Amino acid sequence: MGILADGNWKLDLKGQSNVVKWTNRFAFAVRGLVVGIAVWGMVVGGAGCAGRSGLGGATTRGVDVGGGLRGVRVDGEGGRKGRTAGEVAALERIREEGMDRSQVMDTLDYMTNVIGPRLTGSPQLKRANEWTKGKLEGWGLANARLEQWGPFGRGWSLERFSMQVVSPDTIVLSGYPRAWSPSVNEEGVLEAGVVHVDTGTAGGAGEIDLEKYRGKLAGRVVLIGAVRQLDARFDPLATRVTEEELEKLAGAGLPGRGGGQGGLTNPTPRAAAMAGGVARGEVLPGQARGDTAGERRAAFGDTPAGRALARAAGGTATAPATTRSTTGGAGAGQGAVQRAFNFAVEEGAGLVVTASTRGDGGTLFVQGAMVAGGGAGGARTRPWAEDAKVGVAQVMLGAEDFNRLARMIARGVQPTIRVELKSKFHGEDLYAYNTIAEIPGTDLAGEVVMLGAHIDSWHSSTGTTDNGAGTATMMEAMRILQAAGIKPRRTIRIGLWSGEEQGLFGSAAFVKRHLGAMEGGGVAGGGATTQLGGGGATRPVRKLVKGEGWDRFSVYFNMDNGTGKLRGIYTQGNVAAVGVFGRWLAPVADLGAGTVTLSNTGSTDHVSFDAVGLPGFQFIQDSVEYFSRTWHSNQDSYDRAQVGDLKQAATVIATLAYQAAMSDEKFPRKPLPPGTVVEDGVAAVKVGR
């Protein structure tokens, strides 16, 4: 059927005891039965978590573009069918509370406009942790607490910044310091001439003649990078997912070998992102593909937003930018920038200035500082580490201002810049914190349904769409459930994660502490392997160490794609989930959230759960301006939030959480990859071959 990883159903029992043989035979048979039931459920609308949540009878339409399992589109006509009067009343209370008495914008307003940006390790993030804890307690949630994880490293905050050309004319510059940049000097003020190190002259291997700059950079403002060609924008900055794109998502088959049925999403953020939604080589609309956990979307696919984003970077929707990147990208460009930066530090530069590689018209995308001494991969060195040698103050300029300075210098003009940059490192507490709270369950209180979003952000704006919107929406979903008087069977818990932008650190720490861990990067026993059939091929053995809560965990829902309306859900290749979500989304399908896809999406906090075999899901979401304007940028402000969309999102999530908490069964799980060794501290059981 091609359902399990490698499409291999053979059960190898050689060398196993009778007990283990029969255990594996039973597990193998159950796995086949579960998949069979899931397939039948997708066809007839039955199977999977049916019970007290009244899941039967949702009206769904399977989308099959030929040759296998697909997702569904839900029309909502069956939203009441098969449900008890009590269930219908509860769902109506949830909807009324979410759509008519929403507090989501009030929550978002305080978190972004009053607290502001929430860089991991910063005082603002700790303040946000404390404030969200108090807010959840005030709504009546139980066991509200801050859970420590780490150590993370140094915090950082900006105390003062301004920058302008003072000679030969006054030019006010649009820029922002990189996170973890040191001050320009002890006083925090520098006035100096400007030198341009043009990496556009780098050869194919990223080589650049730096010797011609020797002795010329000490104490200077050093521009590193090439002039970036800016094209006019003809596609809209703001977009919504079209019906055609939703059909394409619903029609996508099982993901490839990087994840999906029979294979967990790879816990490495880049691999998890790259595995997402690339079935048969096609790029699906809105699919997650990023270089790091903090850069979740490097390409947006065949949508107007994706094309606009590509053009802003100097390329097309299907090809990379042709102009050389000044601070990122792959290959020679990034290597040249890093080598030039290392050289500038060695020469004693007073300030290093780079240009935003994306954005124009006043929008710049700012993240962490470069670290001295790195090679082509030096940008991945962690500037928050206690012993990190950042080396020199760093500012990112808008492309237009960077280009103007570079062109002035090329014509023999020698500008002088005055910059005030004073920052502060915080080493008094090297740990970071997640905010946790819950609505206690009743007869199934030991089992958990979980909602989550990352509360940390980057620093050049207020972190509204990434990810204040997700945080406020998940908090609002909990408030809705509490205000609607829901008494869930399972405990409903919220987690607001820190450290997501630096690598999913907060959610990964929570999962490891409470739920489990995939040890050794997926290889157990120091590189042990297991045989694949008779051809001599091997695969690494994965060792899953189950934590106390692994068996009692039901499902996790995550939101981290901006302010846009929810349009459905990615199932991460979980076949059994398609029928379940087809029924659970029926009550809110008329709000636009009716698409279920088998595709993966990655590089945000649901990956931490999926990586240990637990159901973790992220939503299909309208991008609005997320990828083109606000994501990690100085424009990520409260004004970019869409109130109607966030009301809808909170209502949809509360509806799903209610049904997950009331179901007779826990949420169905994907089979673990063949060869996985599962250990619960008492005994180890190998799954499959």
* pLDDT for 202: 57
322-336, 371-385, 633-647, 657-671, range with the lowest pLDDT:
322-336
* pLDDT for 247: 95
* pLDDT for 1: 25
pLDDT category of residue 536 using cuts at 50, 70 and 90: very low
For residues 11 and 688, is the Cβ–Cβ distance under 8 A?
Answer: yes
230 pLDDT above the threshold of 70: yes
* pLDDT for 688: 44
pLDDT category of residue 200 using cuts at 50, 70 and 90: confident
At residue 58, φ and ψ (nearest 5 deg) are: -65, 145
Strands 221-224 and 351-355: parallel
pTM recorded for the entire structure: 0.82
pLDDT category of residue 71 using cuts at 50, 70 and 90: confident
For residues 257 and 79, is the Cβ–Cβ distance under 8 A?
Answer: no
* pLDDT for 538: 53
Q: C-alpha angle 162/164/170, rounded to 5°? A: 145
pLDDT category of residue 519 using cuts at 50, 70 and 90: confident
477 pLDDT above the threshold of 90: yes
242-251, 265-274, 476-485, range with the lowest pLDDT:
265-274
Per the structure block, which two tokens stand in for 109? 């307003």
421 against 7, higher pLDDT: 421
528 pLDDT above the threshold of 60: no
Per the structure block, which two tokens stand in for 514? 């409470």
Q: What is the pLDDT of residues 425-466, one digit of tens each?
A: 999 999 999 999 999 999 999 999 999 999 999 999 999 999
Mention every residue, 6+ apart, whose C-beta is less than 8 A from residue 60.
45, 72, 73, 74, 75, 78, 579, 582, 583, 586
Q: Which residue type, as a one-letter code, is found at position 277?
A: G
Strand order in the sheet with 677-679: 516-519, 543-546, 677-679, 684-686
**CA-to-CA distance for 581 and 574, rounded, in angstroms?**
11
Q: Report, as an integer, the average pLDDT of 362-377.
A: 82
pLDDT category of residue 208 using cuts at 50, 70 and 90: confident
pLDDT category of residue 594 using cuts at 50, 70 and 90: very high
Per the structure block, which two tokens stand in for 520? 């050794």
Per the structure block, which two tokens stand in for 164? 């302008």
Distance of CA 514 to the CA centre of its chain: 21
Domains of the chain: 42-152+431-686 (3.40.630.10), 155-228+323-426 (3.50.30.30)
296 against 616, higher pLDDT: 616
At residue 311, φ and ψ (nearest 5 deg) are: -65, -35
8 pLDDT above the threshold of 60: no
pLDDT category of residue 503 using cuts at 50, 70 and 90: very high
**CA-to-CA distance for 355 and 161, rounded, in angstroms?**
17
501 pLDDT above the threshold of 60: yes
**CA-to-CA distance for 537 and 573, rounded, in angstroms?**
25
* pLDDT for 273: 31
Mention every residue, 6+ apart, whose C-beta is less than 8 A from residue 29.
none
Tally of CB atoms within 10 A around 320: 16
174-188, 535-549, 603-617, range with the lowest pLDDT:
535-549
5 against 222, higher pLDDT: 222
Helices of type H across 101-224: 104-109, 123-138
Per the structure block, which two tokens stand in for 406? 């570079």
Q: Which residue type, as a one-letter code, is found at position 153?
A: G
Per the structure block, which two tokens stand in for 627? 């990828």
* pLDDT for 206: 58
For residues 597 and 570, is the Cβ–Cβ distance under 8 A?
Answer: yes
- 3-class DSSP state for residue 192? strand
Q: What is the pLDDT of residues 415-427, one digit of tens each?
A: 999 999 999 999 9
**CA-to-CA distance for 259 and 264, rounded, in angstroms?**
5
675 pLDDT above the threshold of 60: yes
345 pLDDT above the threshold of 60: yes
Which residue carries 């977009």 as its tokens? 239
Helices of type H across 11-122: 18-44, 85-100, 104-109
* pLDDT for 283: 33
Per the structure block, which two tokens stand in for 530? 């297991």
**CA-to-CA distance for 626 and 608, rounded, in angstroms?**
23
Q: What is the 3-state secondary structure (H, E, C) of 274-323?
A: HHCCCCCCCCCCCCCECCECCECECCCCCCHHHHHHHHHCCCCCCCCCCC
Q: Report, as an integer, the average pLDDT of 51-76.
A: 58
96 against 674, higher pLDDT: 96
- Beta-sheet strands, E only, within 455-604: 490-497, 516-519, 529-532, 537-540, 543-546, 553-558, 566-570, 595-597
Q: Report, as an integer, the average pLDDT of 352-373.
A: 93
